[in-house]
């Protein structure tokens, strides 16, 4: 049981990171009808910026400023590269975001240099041992931070005028514009918020070790989360992220026990965990092609 609970704590921490990225994906999709494949670049760039700011002003101030900087970058990207494409095919815009992702990641990667860089988090690999259950502090920090952000977002969408405007645009863009809502401003805000969420996820994904050139791959694991939850469901993105995080951690903990010595597919003794997000995604798609909480009528890319 202690081994399972330890794995569960890892899964909730990782799942919180996936959920933050997935929420960013969903926010842009609900506002514009496009999946932004630039989210991995924002995630990696956020961690790199914080790695430069943290030594100068401390982790917490550096993290806040780094997240705000990536939000501003995402806003600029929307204004310069996405805004002129409004009205074009969503497939074309999605391909543009792929190009943006490659360009931004390449530029950001140039700042990594040859020396290991870290975000300077105060947790590192420190753990708490509670009745035999090993809990990494960085996973608790990621889960608590994600919970605070999700609650703040829910309150923002429920009670603020801007949040209500974003919900109106997501529900019916033409009707919202007829009521005086600026869809252009909502698009820009959605991109800025999604970029900032990706940066937060990047910071926590980079805790406990040096930043690697493959850090951006964390954002790709969030894709099964939004497929599982539904492309247009914020709640689904949260549940999807936590689901794949927990499944990945639990299977990674036990797969060597399940297959070791069985003689059946010995490769699965070490490789089954990373496959779980995609296995679960395929299983959900076979049963509910629109995701567990998605809208059936959604046909946009």
Domain membership flag for residue 195: yes
10 Å Cβ neighbour count for 257? 10
The rounded mean pLDDT for the chain is: 86
Convert the pLDDT of each residue in 44-88 to its tens digit: 999 999 999 999 999 999 999 999 999 999 999 989 988 888 777
Tell me which residue of 208, 203, 212, 196 sits closest to 62, measured CA to CA: 203
Convert the pLDDT of each residue in 186-244 to its tens digit: 888 999 999 999 999 999 999 988 888 888 888 888 888 888 888 888 888 899 999 99
Residues 6+ apart with CB under 8 A from 127: 134, 135, 136, 137
10 Å Cβ neighbour count for 235? 15
Mean pLDDT in residue range 105-115: 86
Domain membership flag for residue 17: yes
Q: What is the pTM of this model?
A: 0.90
User: What is the span of the domain harbouring residue 175?
Assistant: 1-220
Domain membership flag for residue 266: no
In this predicted structure, what is the pLDDT of residue 262?
59
CA distance 286 to 41: 30
Domain membership flag for residue 283: no
Length in residues, the chain: 301
Domain membership flag for residue 124: yes
CA distance 155 to 283: 33
Domain membership flag for residue 120: yes
Q: For the chain, what is the domain count?
A: 1
Across 25-45, b (16+ Cβ under 10 Å) vs e yields bbbbbbbbbbbbbbbbbbbbb
Domain membership flag for residue 299: no
Domain membership flag for residue 198: yes
- The DSSP secondary-structure symbol of 230 reads -
């Amino acid at each position: 049981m202690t081994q399972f609970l330890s794995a569960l704590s890892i899964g909730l921490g990782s799942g919180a990171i996936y959920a933050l990225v997935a929420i960013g994906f969903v926010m842009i999709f609900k506002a514009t009808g496009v999946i932004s494949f630039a989210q991995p670049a924002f995630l990696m760039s956020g961690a790199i910026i914080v790695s430069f700011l943290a030594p100068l002003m401390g982790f917490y101030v550096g993290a806040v400023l780094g997240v705000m900087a990536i939000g501003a970058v995402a806003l600029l990207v929307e204004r310069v590269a996405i805004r002129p494409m409004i009205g074009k095919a969503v497939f074309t815009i999605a391909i543009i975001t792929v190009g943006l992702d490659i360009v931004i990641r390449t530029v950001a990667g140039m700042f990594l240099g040859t020396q290991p860089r870290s975000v300077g988090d105060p947790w590192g690999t420190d753990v708490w041992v509670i009745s035999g259950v090993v809990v990494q502090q960085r996973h608790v920090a990621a889960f608590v931070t994600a919970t605070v952000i999700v609650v703040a977002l829910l309150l923002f969408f429920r009670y603020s005028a801007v949040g209500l405007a974003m919900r109106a645009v997501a529900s019916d863009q033409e009707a919202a514009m007829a009521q005086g809502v600026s869809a252009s401003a909502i698009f820009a805000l959605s991109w800025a918020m999604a970029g900032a969420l990706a940066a937060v996820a990047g910071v926590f994904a980079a805790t406990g070790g040096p930043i690697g050139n493959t850090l951006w791959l964390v954002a790709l694991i969030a894709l099964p989360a939004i497929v599982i939850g539904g492309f247009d469901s914020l709640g689904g993105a949260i549940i999807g992220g936590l689901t794949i995080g927990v499944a990945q951690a639990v299977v990674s903990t036990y797969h060597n026990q399940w297959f070791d010595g069985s003689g059946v597919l010995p490769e699965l003794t070490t490789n089954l965990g990373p496959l779980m997000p995609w296995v679960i995604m395929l299983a959900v798609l076979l049963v509910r092609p629109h995701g567990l909480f998605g809208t059936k009528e959604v046909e946009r890319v």
